[in-house]
Amino acid sequence: MLDDRPPPRISWPRDVDTVITELRTLAAVGELDLPLPGSGDTAGRWAALARLGRRDLALARLAEGHTDAVAILAEAGRKPAPEALYGVWAARSGGTGAVLDNGVLSGTVRFCSGAHRLDRALVASLDDGRSVLVEVDLADAGITAVPGTWLPLGMDASDSPDVTIDDVAVTDDMIVGDPGFYLDRPGFWQGGMGVAAVWLGGAQGVLDEVLAGLSTPDDHQLAHIGALHTAIRATEALLAQAASTVDADPLGDHHLLAWTCRAAAERAAWEVLDRVPRVTGPTPMCRDPRFAQRLADLQVYVRQHHAEKDLAAIGKAVLA
Ligand SMILES: Cc1cc2nc3c(=O)[nH]c(=O)nc-3n(C[C@H](O)[C@H](O)[C@H](O)COP(=O)(O)OP(=O)(O)OC[C@H]3O[C@@H](n4cnc5c(N)ncnc54)[C@H](O)[C@@H]3O)c2cc1C
């Protein structure tokens, strides 16, 4: 799943514009046309996502969202709009989120990656307590990013602010799948494992930076490198096995497997965040903005994992 060599580095300095330009280039040359999850080459899909994460996590965040949207649309028997870049905006952080009421979509959605630059989004809304997925055109005047709501150091270039949706009329053709489709479909958990592949790539990307800069390592540094290699390769093996399981039973319920892959990738990322600064000391964190950015990106992005909440869910499932 992880190549022997790192992918080419993203152009630097990196900002939202460079990331979007690169994303559109990748889309134009077909590099975002990934095998669908469960279609027989899930490992190929996740390897591509890991490669993107290894290259740059902000780029991978947007690429993963787009490819997830394409997979969701396929699962609903639909096609994406030609040449459009998509996001999937489903967060209900802090009690926010979109609401669908009598065919009108409204509300504030947090963490809308690509808010200023993408073309379309799949928005998970609640209609009378039921989840309904709505495809929106981001050129709609009723959909606006809220200034001042995306101020991070890590993942800054993922452009993930709050978005307000102000009374957008929803026609039948904008509704994707039946009510409950977004959360109930098998692809929900397959998509969650794709995110784990991105985290894994991000972890390897930081390790790549360390390996490129280490000239005469001492024994302690070597031990850290060995531990990180082991953590990353163990997660890679788990994901490869999970890909086979998904391909063998694409309509199966793989939620425990997804939780397990995500927890393993989160732990590998934290091994990197814990050990890498002990290998390098503060110098690259203070003098190499690319190195510092990659650490900060990984620290922020891997917090999509809900930590002990998700581990407790695994524990409960294992006991059951
Ligand atoms: C870089 C990035 C990009 C993302 N992009 C997308 C996207 O495009 N689409 C999408 O659907 N989702 C996206 N997400 C969101 C993600 O999927 C989750 O929905 C989100 O991380 C959950 O946020 P939460 O605040 O609800 O955290 P949770 O992990 O659900 O909960 C956090 C807990 O911390 C507590 N808390 C919050 N603030 C404080 C504080 N100041 N002090 C003490 N406790 C506090 C809260 O009360 C809560 O109990 C993105 C996330 C990140 C990090």
Residue 99's pLDDT is what? Answer: 98
93-132 confidence digits (pLDDT tens): 999 999 999 999 999 999 999 999 999 999 999 999 999 9
- Do residues 19 and 59 lie in contact, with contact meaning Cβ atoms separated by under 8 Å? yes
- Do residues 200 and 50 lie in contact, with contact meaning Cβ atoms separated by under 8 Å? yes
For residue 308, the CA-to-ligand 1 centroid distance in Å is: 14
Shortest-distance Cα residue to atom 19 of ligand 1: 91
Residue to mutate, 85, 160, 162, 300, ligand 1, most ligand atoms under 8 Å from C-beta: 160
pTM summary value = 0.97
For residue 304, the CA-to-ligand 1 centroid distance in Å is: 7
Residue 277's pLDDT is what? Answer: 98
Shortest-distance Cα residue to atom 12 of ligand 1: 91
254-263 confidence digits (pLDDT tens): 999 999 999 9
For residue 110, the CA-to-ligand 1 centroid distance in Å is: 8
* Ligand 1 atom at minimum distance from 309 CA: 29
Residue 13's pLDDT is what? Answer: 95
For residue 215, the CA-to-ligand 1 centroid distance in Å is: 39
Residue 252's pLDDT is what? Answer: 97
**pLDDT classification of 227: cutoffs 50, 70, 90:** very high
For residue 192, the CA-to-ligand 1 centroid distance in Å is: 15
Mind listing the domains of the chain with CATH numbers?
1-83+180-320 (1.20.140), 86-179 (2.40.110.10)
- Do residues 56 and 14 lie in contact, with contact meaning Cβ atoms separated by under 8 Å? yes
Q: Is 298 near ligand 1, meaning CB less than 6 Å away?
A: no
241-276 confidence digits (pLDDT tens): 999 999 999 999 999 999 999 999 999 999 999 999
Average pLDDT over residues 8-36: 97
What does the mean pLDDT of the chain come to?
98
Shortest-distance Cα residue to atom 9 of ligand 1: 89
Half-sphere exposure of 9 (CA within 13 A, CB side): 12
Residue 248's pLDDT is what? Answer: 98
Q: Is 220 exposed, middle or buried (0-12, 13-18, 19+ CB in 10 A)?
A: exposed
* Ligand 1 atom at minimum distance from 87 CA: 8
Q: Please state at what angle helix 42-55 crosses helix 57-75, rounded to 10 degrees.
A: 150
For residue 78, the CA-to-ligand 1 centroid distance in Å is: 29
